[in-house]
Amino acid sequence: MSKHVLIVEDDVDISRLLRLELEDAGYRVSCFDNGMRGLAAIREDRPDLIILDLGLPDVSGTEIARRVRRTDPTPIIILTAADDVETKVTLLNAGADDYLAKPFHVQELLARVGVQLRKHGGGGATRVGDLTIDAVRRHVAWGEDEVRLSPREFELLQYLAGQPGRVYSRREIEMNVWGGDLPPSSNVVDVHVANIRSKLRDAGGYGVIRTVRGVGYAIKG
């Protein structure tokens, strides 16, 4: 069955173009031109991916992302007219998985849609020893015990678990988990790793993430 992409965009030219291109690429597409109708349809239809315009007439794309993210792991790509660091940080913190600044190339959007669908719909959970990471349900467990992570902690752990045993540098982690938007010499990666370790220990998981001094971190392979 083809994947369902739901678009919330009040610019009819853009949503028409996106619909054509996405349908051409084999997706099922539905379009909404205001935030509240879009949000209702997201709840009702449970699409596989959401494309949100940031500037909508009623509710902002950021607010929709935030509301969806409270209950739902569906990947969200936000279209924005602004391309500054502050906007990006706000969008990513609101729970957007990716964003594109307008004007964008439709091929780039299609590529990013594909990336998000692979990332979220990869089928089944990743297992590393006693650790289970379910990307679809955004659920982490150590053995039988659930480990409750913040969205960013989840992404960090999921990123490290992409290749168990491989050492990921702080810079790589910043680029891939935070989109590179951290100030230089920020210790935010270390703080998140410390939080994840503490939560894993509470569930009985010791020594899951290894520190490689002066380089970065690895999940025990």
Establish how many alpha carbons lie within 13 A of residue 150's alpha carbon, considering only the half-sphere containing its beta carbon: 15
Stretch that binds Ca ion, among 17-25, 26-34, 55-63, 118-126 (CB under 5 A): 55-63
Among 4, 10, 110, 197, interactor with Ca ion by CB under 5 A: 10
Stretch that binds Ca ion, among 51-59, 128-136, 166-174, 185-193 (CB under 5 A): 51-59
Q: Report which of 69, 30, 71 is spatially closest to residue 51, judged by C-alpha positions.
A: 30
Instruction: Specify the residue, 21 or 58, whose C-beta has the smaller distance to Ca ion.
Output: 58
Among 21, 30, 36, 55, interactor with Ca ion by CB under 5 A: 55
The helix/strand/coil state of 212 is strand
Taking the complex as a whole, the smallest distance from the CB of residue 68 to Ca ion amounts, in Å, to 18
48 is a site residue for Ca ion (CB under 5 A)? no
Establish how many alpha carbons lie within 13 A of residue 144's alpha carbon, considering only the half-sphere containing its beta carbon: 0
- Report the alpha-carbon distance of residue 126 to residue 154 in Å, rounded: 13
Stretch that binds Ca ion, among 6-14, 146-154, 175-183, 187-195 (CB under 5 A): 6-14
53 is a site residue for Ca ion (CB under 5 A)? yes
Taking the complex as a whole, the smallest distance from the CB of residue 106 to Ca ion amounts, in Å, to 17
Residue nearest to Ca ion (CB): 55
- DSSP structural state of residue 104: -
Two tokens, residue 69: 């993210």
Instruction: Specify the residue, 53 or 174, whose C-beta has the smaller distance to Ca ion.
Output: 53
Draw the binding track, 58-77, toward Ca ion (x: CB under 5 A; -: no contact).
Answer: --------------------
Two tokens, residue 122: 């990869």
Stretch that binds Ca ion, among 5-13, 63-71, 115-123, 210-218 (CB under 5 A): 5-13
DSSP per-residue codes, 49-71: EEEEESS-SSS-HHHHHHHHHHH
Residue type, 136: V
164 is a site residue for Ca ion (CB under 5 A)? no
Residues 6+ apart with CB under 8 A from 57: 10, 34, 35
Which chain residues interact with Ca ion by CB under 5 A?
10, 53, 55
